[in-house]
Amino acid sequence: MKNLPLKKEQIKKISQFFNNDIQYFKIMLKKYPKIPIKNIKYKISSNINLKILIGDAKDKLKELPKYIDYWFLDGFTPSKNIRMWNKEIFTIISQKSKTGTKLSTFSSARIVKDGLKLANFNYLKIKGFNNKRHMLVAQKE
């Protein structure tokens, strides 16, 4: 969910953190526009669908079915986007996730870590890339 979606080049860089799933990123990037301006839905394989939702996170989360296997949250820093990083959003993410659901985000702020704990995700802070010192990867318990 993005009000300002990632550019194709940014997605390529992110994909390096998902070694086991790189083939899915390659399929997605074949169709991904330089800069998305509307919702995108891809059928990557017979059992994998990708949705990129453009708009307010709270509204768009409600459009998603249960259960999501992977989340990528890119809502800028929490101090600049409090509508994305709050208990209500993390509660909905938890409800739409199952045990083993994976998540990643560029933000490693305390409010994000606390939200992930609230949503029953175990997280790990890892090295980021470009101007991002750190990022979080997580999995639901």
Q: Per-domain residue ranges for the chain?
A: 8-140
**pLDDT digits 0-9 by tens, 41-51:** 888 788 888 88
3-state secondary structure of 8: helix
Name the residue among 43, 52, 58, 48 with its Cα closest to residue 1: 52
Beta bridge partners of 123: 138
Higher pLDDT, 29 or 96: 96
Burial 60-96 (b: 16+ CB within 10 A, else e): bbeeeeeebeebbbbbeebeebeebbeeebbebbbeb
**pLDDT digits 0-9 by tens, 50-108:** 888 888 888 888 888 888 999 988 767 888 888 888 999 999 999 999 999 999 998 99
Q: To 10 degrees, what angle do helices 22-31 and 8-15 make?
A: 170
Order across the sheet with 97-105: list the strands: 68-73, 97-105, 134-140, 121-127
| CATH number 3.40.50.150 is the correct assignment for the domain at 8-140 | yes
Helices (H), the chain: 8-15, 22-31, 57-61, 87-95, 110-118
Higher pLDDT, 5 or 44: 44
